[in-house]
Chain A
């Protein structure tokens, strides 16, 4: 959880996100991908692959990572870091569950 966060946005029900899938949150120009793993963990990344800005929300979720649909970079859901030989990172957003509601921490720009 990020100490910088002073605003939690209620963005929806956990059941709105398919297991091993993601949904997008549009905040102004920014798109944030909220992921739900097979075991119901929630993660949020900017919906932008560090490689060529591919929409990570559209990738396949596995092993705590998402594989970008454009060029198969594998990005950690927890740290936003590219895995393996690739280098780069995507912004991670704080996100938490309150019961079944998904709360996203957003700092604006």
Chain B
């Protein structure tokens, strides 16, 4: 009998032995080394053991009887110290064993991030039963807190298990959403919601700086300076193949042990299998390919030919109640098309990625019923052209005629619920429409309450009206925000508030976005709405802003930028002018010009010079003029009662005060102000977004003027007596606009849409409403009045301003 030595009793080698003994129990005399003091168990089921949903006994794959029955010499708990290929022996801690064939199945080891404190007691990785038991022990302390570093499969399973055992758990994750390798942003959002619903805190975009503690772990410090207390820290950031033994033995090793399709290493008598191998540049972490390898290796050892091939993989998460699935390649790209289906009521998201009539990727959350079928389509590369229209609905929909959405609504029974919020069913709506002669959506809303709350069923209600009324019904033509949704701006804004949606993925999921991550039209709009509605909670999504707002300067036609510092109320000093002159000289700025808003514009600035220019301007006391922003721009003034013989009030003073109070505020479109000291109106206040004309009796507030593509005189909002009132009324007006305006809609268009009377009623007549607007404006200013220039001088977003790398062309040519 030939001698087979196996190093490592994991799932791959275990499966290989099963195949081997099944095919020919007498082919080999087997010796099995394992560093762990136990045999093979189902490692991927450790998570339920951690949570208490399974016991260790249940996940043992091979017990003592199995090894004895197959005459396996077990050397468990013994490390292999070396392999002598000359003498063909494996050296264990307790002696040598000779082999004819050798299988290395050393698996992988957890990756430990190299931060200070990583060796403290209480810091564990999550790989084997001992780790699991250490974690279970830690849960036995009262009020124990755990931090899990890594929001991938393993980290999430660890977190859920520890939580079930009673711990307070925080997940720290480097990427923007959980399981970013397997899920897209939309599915990641749903997963995070599910995880948070378990009382687990999730911090994304968080980088670990150090693990704190004296004699044992006490907390985790993040790069942003925050500290999370912890009694247990679980590192679950990834694994790396254990290939050291093979390397020391002189076998060919890349990122892992290099094998051919027969699982043979560079030494023909030595094989490798499992997570420690690299095949055609690929590493393996999921169990399916390991089992394929095991099968190939068993055949190879018995002298039967077989070849390992890499197949598509799919992922599932073992957290009870989280149903997700992902497979294939779901990267965006040209020639690829997404089919997205969302059902916010059930928390369902499905995305299929199609390329050349083949399904190449699938991500599913909440409804994984057809996962195996989709996986099969991906793996087999089947042509799906025939069933493309209904593909997203899964296997059971196939074979029938393509679904006409109106026909589908027609087929609904009368008691089918159409409006979930108000519990209105189909029969009620149809009856109301036909008996009461309703012809508009608003009528139906008024009579039945259907679609009157959250409005996501509006499309369904409209289809019902088409069915009932035929041509007599014309859907109100609310233009959708963009191609990603059927909802208009108003609906989206209203739903963001009523459903308390606080992130872009949340909006897209709950409002059933038709694309997976939006477009260049809806992303900036949603970003503004969220900034405006949730000033305290929302973290600005930087990449959803246009370039001007990212670099805080105006892009010009040649790709250079212009810089406009704030001059409060259009006033300046010799020191400020000198500083500007110095900057112009120092940075060779080709052009300097006075703007229409009483400020100075430096044009032709190179992007990489921006931070240095701001630093110099900052030293002279300048802040950003936000001349690039959908936000408060200038406040133009005349000299007023200080100097002018006609001046009635201190118009300059009010202008400065308004600008200092309101700067930094983000608005749907730009907002320009002016204050004129008398009705002669030298500051041209009556064509501004908001203007003040001072009169003897006080301040006349104007708004909704335009002097651009459209020219329009302002509307009068009303007269107030004091400066304080002027500030309050103007802020309230702007806040009302901030809350109701469509993105990129100027004040004059907004006011026309809302009605001047309504604006006047709320701001001039309803003191309570005005006060509420004003308070919300003040609150949001707490978070908005940060000078973006000084922030960037101190290093924020520095990547925006420098090339990533520069090469002189000569060097490149020389290299060729």
Q: Do chains A and B touch in the complex (CB under 8 A)?
A: yes
Least CB distance from A36 to B in Å reads 10
Asked whether A37 and B804 contact (CB < 8 A) given A27-B812, A60-B523, A69-B546, the answer is no
Give CA–CA (A21, B400) in the complex, Å: 43
Nearest residue (CB) in B for A30 is B809
B555–A69 touching, CB < 8 Å: yes
* B330 interface contact, C-beta 8 A: yes
* B708 interface contact, C-beta 8 A: no
Nearest residue (CB) in B for A107 is B816
A9, A25, A41: which contacts B803 (Cβ < 8 A)? Answer: A25
Give CA–CA (A74, B804) in the complex, Å: 23
Least CB distance from B574 to A in Å reads 36
Within 8 Å CB of A108, what residues of B?
Answer: 809, 812-813, 816
Report, as a range, how many residues of chain A touch the other chain: 35 or more
Nearest residue (CB) in A for B335 is A78
Among residues 172 to 188 in chain B, which have CB atoms less than 8 Å away from a CB atom of chain A?
Answer: 176, 184-185
B547–A7 touching, CB < 8 Å: no
A60–B803 touching, CB < 8 Å: no
Among residues 309 to 336 in chain B, which have CB atoms less than 8 Å away from a CB atom of chain A?
Answer: 330-336
B550, B555, B806: which contacts A25 (Cβ < 8 A)? Answer: B806
Within 8 Å CB of B559, what residues of A?
Answer: 53-55, 58
Least CB distance from A89 to B in Å reads 12
* B634 interface contact, C-beta 8 A: no
Give CA–CA (A33, B519) in the complex, Å: 20
Nearest residue (CB) in A for B548 is A69
Asked whether A69 and B807 contact (CB < 8 A) given A54-B559, A106-B812, the answer is no
Least CB distance from B534 to A in Å reads 21
B518, B548, B810, B815: which contacts A62 (Cβ < 8 A)? Answer: B518
Within 8 Å CB of B544, what residues of A?
Answer: 20, 60
Nearest residue (CB) in A for B804 is A23
* B661 interface contact, C-beta 8 A: no
B803–A63 touching, CB < 8 Å: no
Nearest residue (CB) in B for A59 is B547
Within 8 Å CB of B334, what residues of A?
Answer: 64-65, 76-79
A17–B804 touching, CB < 8 Å: yes
Within 8 Å CB of B517, what residues of A?
Answer: 38, 62-63
Give CA–CA (A20, B332) in the complex, Å: 11
Within 8 Å CB of B523, what residues of A?
Answer: 60, 62
Asked whether A39 and B803 contact (CB < 8 A) given A29-B809, A60-B524, the answer is no
B546, B550, B812: which contacts A7 (Cβ < 8 A)? Answer: B812
* B520 interface contact, C-beta 8 A: yes
* B543 interface contact, C-beta 8 A: yes
Least CB distance from B559 to A in Å reads 4
A58–B816 touching, CB < 8 Å: no
Least CB distance from A50 to B in Å reads 14
Give CA–CA (A106, B518) in the complex, Å: 33
Within 8 Å CB of A72, what residues of B?
Answer: 520
Give CA–CA (A37, B329) in the complex, Å: 14
B809–A19 touching, CB < 8 Å: no
Give CA–CA (A86, B764) in the complex, Å: 48
* A45 interface contact, C-beta 8 A: no
B331–A39 touching, CB < 8 Å: yes
Give CA–CA (A8, B694) in the complex, Å: 66
Give CA–CA (A27, B176) in the complex, Å: 31
* B808 interface contact, C-beta 8 A: yes
* B557 interface contact, C-beta 8 A: yes
B807–A26 touching, CB < 8 Å: yes
Nearest residue (CB) in A for B561 is A58
Query: Interface digits, B789-810 against A, CB 8 Å rule (1 contact, 0 not)?
Result: 0000000000100011111111
* B515 interface contact, C-beta 8 A: yes
Give CA–CA (A3, B205) in the complex, Å: 38
Least CB distance from B497 to A in Å reads 25
Within 8 Å CB of B86, what residues of A?
Answer: none
Give CA–CA (A23, B555) in the complex, Å: 16
Within 8 Å CB of B587, what residues of A?
Answer: none
* B542 interface contact, C-beta 8 A: yes
Give CA–CA (A41, B353) in the complex, Å: 16
Asked whether A70 and B557 contact (CB < 8 A) given A11-B805, A24-B803, A38-B517, the answer is yes
* B558 interface contact, C-beta 8 A: yes
Asked whether A39 and B184 contact (CB < 8 A) given A23-B804, A28-B810, the answer is yes
B804–A34 touching, CB < 8 Å: yes
Nearest residue (CB) in A for B184 is A39
Within 8 Å CB of A88, what residues of B?
Answer: none
Within 8 Å CB of B546, what residues of A?
Answer: 60, 69
Give CA–CA (A41, B542) in the complex, Å: 19
A25, A62, A64: which contacts B805 (Cβ < 8 A)? Answer: A25
Asked whether A37 and B812 contact (CB < 8 A) given A20-B543, A52-B557, A69-B555, the answer is no
A16–B799 touching, CB < 8 Å: yes
B815–A7 touching, CB < 8 Å: yes
B330, B332, B515, B799: which contacts A18 (Cβ < 8 A)? Answer: B799
Nearest residue (CB) in B for A69 is B547
Least CB distance from B71 to A in Å reads 45
Give CA–CA (A70, B556) in the complex, Å: 8
Q: Could you write out 10 A-B pairs with CB less than 8 Å apart?
A: A11-B804, A11-B805, A21-B542, A23-B803, A25-B807, A59-B520, A60-B543, A62-B518, A63-B519, A77-B333
Per CB-CB distance, the 4 closest pairs between chain A and chain B, nearest first, are A28-B809, A23-B804, A58-B547, A20-B543
18 further interface pairs, Cβ-Cβ under 8 Å (given A19-B176, A25-B805, A59-B547): A6-B816, A11-B804, A17-B804, A21-B543, A23-B804, A24-B804, A25-B803, A27-B807, A27-B809, A27-B812, A34-B804, A38-B184, A38-B185, A38-B517, A53-B559, A64-B333, A78-B333, A107-B816
**Residues of B in contact with A (beta carbons under 8 Å apart):** 176, 184-185, 330-336, 515, 517-520, 523-524, 542-544, 546-548, 550-551, 555, 557-559, 799, 803-810, 812-813, 815-816
